[in-house]
Amino acid sequence: MTTRRTLTALLAVGAVTALAACGTTDEPATDATTTAAGGPVQITDDRGETVELDAPATRVVSLEWMQTEMLTSLGVTPVGAADVAGYTSWVGTAVPLAGEPEDVGTRGEPSVEAIAALEPDLIVGVTSSVPEGAMEQMERIAPVALFDGADGADPLGYVEDTFTSIATLVGAEDAAEEVLAETQQRIDDNAAAIAEAGLEGTPVVFASPYAEGANVTVRMHGPNSAFQAVADEMGLTAAVTDPGDEAYGLSYVDVEGLTALPADTRFLYWGNDDEDDVVETVLAANPVWQSLPFVQEGHVHRAGVGIWAYGGPESLAGWSDDLVAQLTAE
């Protein structure tokens, strides 16, 4: 497995050079370049496609919350974004939108007509953002840059690579450097807070329970997830051993599967004010759930409200802040 990088690892060699968002340190496709302020820019996206612009983009349409967040962090309000209401609910606490982008449809099913009407000079998203058969239409509107969204081999390095690629496309490399440095500082400060609280080495897991009637499935963010990579940097450990899928580090268990977690686990589950609280409405009455040591000890926390688990640097910093808030409040 590729060694994880901290969010400022690339800053050590000088000013941030925008990297192609390959998500691995083994063989980075590093041909992202800026020839001069306001001049031509070029990156290689995660499809291996070269994306060239005559000048940094100023009218950007974002088809995924990760890229919408990154643009916002860089001081760029997209002219259009997918599922603006969903962004506000799931991401907007950590990184609120500064302006009012036009809603261009759902993630994965954007409206070609709505995008074309905005006359963008760049379209960004993840590799699943553009429906099959619609790529040719999209590319007739504007250059398209697509990213995979995550890489479990190097979750933090992947976020940094994608962020710097987006920054290159909009001519905001200096802003990217500042955001990355501030993010790392917040994580470092929170690591110190965890140490001061005597919580170093505490096993944590971030989970997302779903219910169909009385049946509950729990999405677990394992050791290869960006959330756990942040927790590791803070001196915490992974309660889950299953590495999960290759991209996001996700695995799934039923309630009985939670019995494999260490007794001293801190169980953080994703909260959202617009969604039912499955822990309170379903799990609370489950005998297996009630028997879990970390439940009996009160080590269960509703966490991450308005913080995106699959977002950019500021979401990672938000998770770091929330971990400290939850664990030191026990």
Q: DSSP secondary structure string, 208-253?
A: EEEEETTEEEEEEE-TTSHHHHHHHHTT-EES-----STTT-EEEE
Q: What is the pLDDT of residues 162-219, one digit of tens each?
A: 999 999 999 999 999 999 999 999 999 999 999 999 999 999 999 999 999 889 999 9
> What are the residues whose beta carbons fall under 8 Å from the beta carbon of 301, sequence distance 6 or more?
266, 267, 268, 269, 326, 327
Query: 1-18 burial, b if ≥16 CB within 10 A, otherwise e?
Result: eeebbbbbbbbeeeebeb
Beta bridge partners of 300: 267
Distance, in Å, from the CA atom of 77 to the CA atom of 174, rounded to the nearest integer, reads 17
Q: Which position has the token pair 């509703």?
A: 302
Interval 40-59 mean pLDDT? 97
Q: Which amino acid is at 220?
A: M
Work out the percent of the chain whose per-residue pLDDT is above 70: 89
* pLDDT score of 13: 33
- 54, amino acid identity: D
- Amino acid type, 259: T
Tokens matching residue 308: 């995106």
Residue 38: which pLDDT band, with cuts at 50, 70 and 90? Answer: confident
Residues 6+ apart with CB under 8 A from 7: 156, 159, 160, 180, 183, 184, 187, 313, 316
Domains of the chain: 9-181 (3.40.50.1980), 197-327 (3.40.50.1980)
Overall average pLDDT of the 110-139 stretch: 96
Question: Does the pLDDT of residue 24 top 90, yes or no?
Answer: no
In the block, residue with structure tokens 């686990």: 265
pLDDT at 141: 98
Whole-number mean pLDDT of the chain? Answer: 90
- Of 30-39, 51-60, 245-254, 287-296, the least confident: 30-39
Rg over alpha carbons for the chain, rounded to the nearest Å, is: 20
Cα 260 to chain centroid distance, Å, stands at 27
14 three-state secondary structure: coil
Q: Is 252 exposed, middle or buried (0-12, 13-18, 19+ CB in 10 A)?
A: middle
Say what the pLDDT of residue 55 is: 97
Instruction: Indicate if the pLDDT at residue 103 is higher than 60.
Output: yes
- What whole-number distance in Å separates Cα of residue 189 and Cα of residue 176? 20
| pLDDT band at residue 36 using 50, 70 and 90 as cut-offs | very low
How high is the pLDDT of residue 31? 38
Confidence of residue 5 (pLDDT cuts 50, 70, 90): low
Return the pLDDT at 8. 52
Q: What is the pLDDT of residues 151-160, one digit of tens each?
A: 999 999 999 9
Average pLDDT (76-87) is: 98
Q: Which residues, listed in sequence order, are joined to residue 313 by a DSSP beta bridge?
A: none
SS3 (DSSP) at 42: strand
Residue 7 in this model has a pLDDT that exceeds 90: no
pLDDT at 252: 98
Q: What is the per-residue pLDDT for 54?
A: 97
State how far the Cα of 52 lies from the Cα of 32, in Å rounded to an integer: 9
Which of 194, 237, 183 minimizes the C-alpha distance to 323? 194
Q: Is the pLDDT of residue 19 over 60?
A: no
The pLDDT > 90 percentage for the chain reads 87
User: How far apart are alpha carbons 11 and 23 in whole angstroms?
Assistant: 17
Give the residue-averaged pLDDT of 230-235.
Answer: 98
pLDDT band for 116, please (50, 70, 90 cuts): very high
- pLDDT value of position 1: 31
How far apart (Å, rounded) are the C-alpha atoms in residues 202 and 298? 15
Predicted pLDDT at 3: 37
Complete edge-to-edge strand list for the sheet that includes strand 80-81: 102-103, 80-81, 60-62, 122-126, 144-147
Q: Is 34 helix (H, G, I), strand (E, B) or coil?
A: strand
